[in-house]
Amino acid sequence: MSRQAARTGDPRKVNGELFTLTYGALVAQLMKDYENDDEVNKQLEKMGYNIGVRIIEDFLARANSGRCNDFRDVADVISKVAFKMYLGITPVVSNWSPAGDEFSLLLENNPLTDFVELPEGHDSLNYSNILCGVLKGALEMIQMDVDVKFVQDHLKGDNITEVRLKFIKRLEDAVPVGED
Amino acid sequence: MSNMAVCVAVIAKENYPLFIKTTPTDNELQFYYTVHTSLDVVEEKISSVGKNANDLRELYLGLLYPTEDYKVYGYVTNTKVKFVVVVESSNTSLRDNEIRTMFKRLHGAYVDMLSNPFYNPGENIVSRKFENVVMGMMKQD
Amino acid sequence: MADEVPFEFLHMELVAHIHNTSTKEENDTCIAKLESLGYRVGLSLIERFTKDCSRFKDELDMMKFICKDFWNLVYKKQIDNLRTNHQGVYVLQDNKFRFLTQLSNGKQYMEAAPKYLAFPCGLIRGALCSLGINCIVTAEVSAMPACKFQIQIQRL
């Protein structure tokens, strides 16, 4: 066993770094490939969607979280189980709409953005937009059409990172729209 | 915490500066020259490492050389990035341990800076976070 | 604690995206793009992994670090076999390469394997170049999920 291994860190934490760095390389590459931030945001969401429709199976197999009866249950499972399992964080669920069809996830820290310093002139880039796609894709596979978007981002100088989820409608026996 | 450096520099593996910060002075050029000169000493020290079986092979190189007014310290990472810290000779209270700590912090800050996906390796370092760490080590007038 | 699943899904989508968005380009350009992404990540990882290490003695010391510590940290296991011809070529064998275990065994999936090995080749090349070893890294799969990484040192 190498003497250096003991000092180079916890392998599980390092996995997080591999993920964070790879995601960063992806975003940086997309910014070179596409003209504007909106296009990059769209690509990130699309990629996230493709991940979401697949990762849901992994989640359901491992989470053992039981049936969700309503949107509130979904919110709890997303924040306490899904985020915890995959990203090691537990966002706070808050800002429920009176009708109970909209809520926010407040992320105090976001592993995707560790070490990231946004360059000047990219105010409309939603760096972590892949998360929106993942949530949308995953929820679609359990028959929910949900709109997901970032409303605050600490990378842009906001105090907190806030993702807003809005329930649109239930999907009956739906096939996901166009997997690319 | 030690904030006694009058000059902090980060030099790329190819021996050109990625970052130099000095305390406000009319003679900034002199610091650039000092840093440049220190690179020869750094090369000497690294190539002599390993010839002695007792070598610790530390990244910290210690005092590179003293000038009349300054003491120049060096540190080289395994990826051949060099850090140079210059302090005033008159600063006798500064211990070796404190200097090591400065380099460790500098190294940590450099690693974090490199992890920023928008930094292109080999470019000038313009990261605000990195600069803040350096400012925290520099002598405040 | 971060889970390894997000990375696996991200990597698979990354490979799919790069190939889907280059219909006119050759397969080679996609491989090169993935490799260069891996390279950049490798640079950052090696800097962090070696931050608290003492100075490496020589090239062999560095190769051992890659085979043991680096591989362990990134792939949760060590390289199974390291061979060298002592003339600048190293062959690293991993009998159960993590990236390949998600692809099913079977000859038809072997064609797809190079796409998934481009990023890891870049990781290794980025790590080694950063340590001062300029090289070319290629990979080949003879029987899933085992693969061999070949490192050709480029001496100037």
CATH code at position C56: 3.30.1380.20
Q: Give the Cα separation of A135 and A133 in Å (integer).
A: 5
The pLDDT of residue C131 is above 60: yes
pLDDT in tens, A39-73: 999 999 999 999 999 999 999 998 877 778 789 99
Residue contact C131–B108, C-beta within 8 A: no
Q: What is the dihedral of CA B30, B33, B37, B42, to 10 degrees?
A: 90
State the nearest Cα–Cα gap between C32 and chain B, in angstroms.
Answer: 18
Q: Give the Cα separation of C82 and C136 in Å (integer).
A: 16
- Is B59's Cβ below 8 Å from some Cβ in C? yes
Q: Which residue has the higher pLDDT, A176 or B98?
A: B98
Q: Which CATH class is domain B7-137?
A: alpha beta
The domain that contains A121 carries what CATH number? 3.30.1380.20
pLDDT in tens, C138-149: 999 988 889 999
Can you give the pLDDT at residue A146? 97
Strands (E) in chain C, as ranges, are: 81-84, 89-94, 135-143, 146-153
Structure tokens, B127: 């990261």
Contacts of B126 in chain A (CB under 8 A): none
The pLDDT of residue B50 is above 80: no
Report yes or no on A153 lying in a domain. Answer: yes
The three state secondary structure string of A36-92 is CHHHHHHHHHHHHHHHHHHHHHHHHHHHCCCCCCCHHHHHHHHHHHHHHHHHCCCCE
Which chains lie within 8 Å of chain C at 3 or more CB pairs, if any?
A, B
The rounded mean pLDDT for chain A is 89
Can you give the pLDDT at residue B70? 92
Q: Which residue has the higher pLDDT, C22 or B109?
A: B109
Q: Which residue has the higher pLDDT, B50 or B126?
A: B126
pLDDT in tens, C18-47: 998 876 667 788 999 999 999 999 999 999
| Main-chain phi, psi angles of B60, to 5 degrees | -75, 130
**Across residues B111-130, what is the average pLDDT?**
96
Residue contact A20–B115, C-beta within 8 A: yes
Please measure the distance between the N-terminal and C-terminal CA atoms of chain A and give it in whole angstroms.
45
pLDDT band at residue A9 under the 50/70/90 scheme: low
Provide the residue ranges of all domains of chain B, joining segments of one domain with +: 7-137
User: Which residue among B78, B107, B121 places its CB closest to the CB of C56?
Assistant: B78
Domain that holds residue C50: 4-153
Touching A: C residues 67-106, CB under 8 Å: 68-69, 72-74, 76
Structure tokens, B18: 């990625």
Count of beta carbons in the 10 Å neighbourhood of residue A120? 6
With 0-12 CB in 10 A as exposed, 13-18 as middle and 19+ as buried, what is C117? buried
**Across residues C49-75, what is the average pLDDT?**
92
pLDDT band at residue A4 under the 50/70/90 scheme: very low
The rounded mean pLDDT for chain B is 90
Into how many domains does chain C fold? 1
pLDDT in tens, A77-125: 999 999 999 999 999 999 999 999 999 999 999 999 999 999 999 999 9
Q: Which residue has the higher pLDDT, B95 or A41?
A: A41
pTM: 0.92
Report the chain C residue with the minimal C-alpha distance to residue B48.
C57
Report the chain C residue with the minimal C-alpha distance to residue B79.
C131
Report yes or no on A165 lying in a domain. Answer: yes
pLDDT in tens, A119-164: 999 999 999 999 999 999 999 999 999 999 999 999 999 999 999 9
The rounded mean pLDDT for chain C is 89
Can you give the pLDDT at residue B93? 83
Residue contact A115–B118, C-beta within 8 A: no
Can you give the pLDDT at residue C2? 46
State the nearest Cα–Cα gap between A137 and chain B, in angstroms.
Answer: 26
Report yes or no on A114 lying in a domain. Answer: yes
Q: Give the Cα separation of A25 and B111 in Å (integer).
A: 16
Contacts of A117 in chain B (CB under 8 A): 116, 118-119, 127-129
Strands (E) in C35-145, as ranges, are: 81-84, 89-94, 135-143
Into how many domains does chain A fold? 1
Q: Which residues pair with C57 in a beta bridge?
A: none
- Is C41's Cβ below 8 Å from some Cβ in A? yes
- Is B117's Cβ below 8 Å from some Cβ in A? yes
| Main-chain phi, psi angles of A21, to 5 degrees | -65, -40
Of A91, A90, A68, A40, the closest CA to residue A139 belongs to: A68
Q: Which residue has the higher pLDDT, A19 or C105?
A: A19
Domain that holds residue A165: 14-170
pLDDT in tens, B74-94: 999 999 999 999 999 888 888
Q: Select from A1, A29, A60, A116 the residue whose CB has the most chain C CBs within 10 Å, as the one to mutate to test that interface.
A: A29
Of C118, B78, C20, C7, the closest CA to residue A17 belongs to: C7
ipTM of the complex: 0.93
Can you give the pLDDT at residue B8? 96
Q: Distance between alpha carbon B20 and the CA centroid of its chain, in Å?
A: 9
Residue contact B57–C48, C-beta within 8 A: no
Report yes or no on A99 lying in a domain. Answer: yes
Report the chain C residue with the minimal C-alpha distance to residue B47.
C57
Q: What is the dihedral of CA A164, A170, A171, A176, to 10 degrees?
A: 10
State the nearest Cα–Cα gap between B60 and chain C, in angstroms.
Answer: 9
Contacts of B47 in chain C (CB under 8 A): none
